[in-house]
Structure 1
Amino acid sequence: MLEIISEHPDFYVIYKPVNISVHQTAEQPGIIPLVQQHVGCQAPLWLVHRLDQVTSGLLVLARNQPSAQIFGRLFSDQQITKYYLAITTGRPKKKQGKIIGDMTKTRNGNWKLLHTKHNPAITEFVSTGFLPGKRLCLIHPLTGKTHQIRVALKSLGAPILGDPRYSPKNHESADRCYLHAYALQFNWQEKRLSYSCPPKEGHWFLAQTCQDKLACYDAPWNLF
């Protein structure tokens, strides 16, 4: 369910539920009218970044145009630190470290990771097992490429559980795509602001064995 995590005079930090599109589609109105309805106000809002429809978690909406422009620069200059959680399946080639490589689009509209590093996607991660065949990953993307995290984890042989694009074999047996925008940290008006919100949806995210491991990631900005 949509939730306001923090209300600032210049922006909202919200929890976007899984399978809600940030943009208007034929089936859904998009996130902005949903937030306006939730707060009971039709004042304009600005979408300053995006999450894939299948990804839940923290999303920032600017409440005025000057703030939207500032956020645009912060995201463009990679001055907003983002952390994600994912549950993967399979046996990864490595359990922590960096995944670096150029990305290219394939014929079916998916992306894949290359061995070249001309303009690479860079992804840091740590992971821990919590059940046989499942690992909880904390991910820190250093770049902002399309589907970067989903492609990076697949390249390790450990795709995200329930990912309809990059793990179709286990998609139908999962109740969601297990990727969650967990935390944000950035400077605003000379103050360092940090926000985090654990996932609220998904059987395996809410399983006690996963919750026990998640406690290790309470302050993700201290782990990289």
Structure 2
Amino acid sequence: MSDFIQGKAGISLVHHDPRFLVVHKDPGLAFHTTEKENQRDPGVLQIIRQLEARGDIPAGERLFPVHRLDRITSGILLFARGRKYANQLGNAFRHNRVDKVYIALSDRRPKKKQGTVSGDMIRGRGGQWILTRAKRNPAQTRFMSVELSGIRPGMRMYVLKPRTGRTHQLRVALKSLGSPVLGDSLYGRYDMARKEDRAYLHAAAIRFDLDGKSYQYYDAPAPGNLFAHPDFVRALQSLGDLMALKI
């Protein structure tokens, strides 16, 4: 098995199907190839195509992205094979017919511990997005949280189920609660975020329908020192099936 599949390049295989591909993405890996100071860093799609060329992932029809994860976010990514399934899965995402569950950590006290965050999102300064009180076309996120003060005072684990899919939606939702994602230098304090080994936001589960059948995949939160902490592991296991969790 190659280093790529083992995750050393930031990508590992979760499931392969002739119609789609499910992979795990590490935090810090950009979706698109980036170039800076004469250094070229391959993006998610380029790495996956390299895996195909090397035979580490079974080849098939051309891969198409149907959704994305922020650079800081780890977890499940779904790709369609061929235009037919790219259209079907792309439409499912656009019409909010794909269920997703994310896990996050924050050590800031929230305004509320569970419920729904809803509001229109507008562009702010410095690459940020802002949640407003207007609800003409609101971003909607359901969430619950579990105290993890044994890890660190004020620490909580958040289970997030977005009903919509907007840029930075979950990061903005937690920021609006007063509990930015731990390690998120854009929506939290930059000096504090830099002390963490990663930003703690992870796409843990996905469920979608295709050709009349339902598919569901899970990806345990990783990497990260706090995701490996025994208190976090126990708390996550106590929740059972994340997709079936009622929030």
Note the C-alpha offset of 1:185. 0.5
Aligned to 1:55: 73
Aligned twin of 1:25: 34
Give the corresponding residue for 1:76: 94
Quick check: 1:3 aligned with 2:12?
yes
Q: Distance in 2 between matches of 1:100 and 1:65?
A: 33
Q: Does 1:175 align with 2:197?
A: yes
SS at match of 1:203: coil
Q: Residue 67 of structure 1 aligns with which residue? A: 85
Could you tell me whether the CA contact under 8 Å between 1:87 and 1:161 is conserved in 2?
Answer: yes
**What secondary structure does 1:83 align onto?**
strand
Secondary structure at 1:205 match in 2: coil
- Partner residue, 2:165: 144
Instruction: Supply the distance in 2 between the matched residues of 1:82 and 1:158 (Cα, whole angstroms).
Output: 21
User: Is contact 2:148–2:155 with CA below 8 Å preserved after alignment?
Assistant: yes
Structure 1 position 77, deviation (Å): 0.9
Q: Where does residue 118 of structure 1 map in the other structure? A: 136
SS in 2 for 1:79: coil
Q: Which residue of 2 aligns with 1:12?
A: 21
| Equivalent residues of 2:14, 2:23 under 8 A apart | yes
Alignment counterpart, residue 206 of structure 1, candidates 228, 237, 240? 228
Greater displacement, 174-183 / 58-67: 58-67
Larger helix fraction of residues: 1
TM-score (norm 1): 0.95
How is 1:30-41 mapped onto 2 (pairs within 5 angstroms)?
30-39=43-52, 40-41=54-55
| Counterpart contact for 1:138–1:217, Cα < 8 Å | no
Q: Please report how far the alpha carbon of residue 165 of structure 1 lies from its aligned counterpart in structure 2 after TM superposition.
A: 0.4
Partners of 1:65 and 1:118 in 2: how far apart?
Answer: 32
Unaligned runs of 5+ in 1: none
Tell me, in whole angstroms, the C-alpha distance in 1 between the residues paired with 2:164 and 2:192. 27
2:33–2:46 CA contact under 8 A, matched in 1: no
Match of 1:95 in 2: 113
Can you list the C-alpha shifts for 1:50-109, whole angstroms capped at 9, x where unaligned? 100110000011122211111111111111111100001211011111011111111222
Deviation per CA, 1:127-173: give whole Å up to 9, x if none. 10112211111100011111110011011111100002001242111
Q: Distance in 1 between matches of 2:162 and 2:191?
A: 25
Which AA in structure 2 matches 1:196? Y
Percent of counterpart pairs with the same letter? 38
Q: Assess if the C-alpha contact under 8 Å between 2:98 and 2:208 holds in 1.
A: yes
AA in 1 matched with 2:165: G
1:143 is matched by which residue type in structure 2?
A: T
- Contact map agreement 1:81 1:184 (CA 8 A) in 2: yes
**Root mean square deviation, CA, Å:** 1.4
Letter in 2 for 1:18: P
Equivalenced residue count is: 224
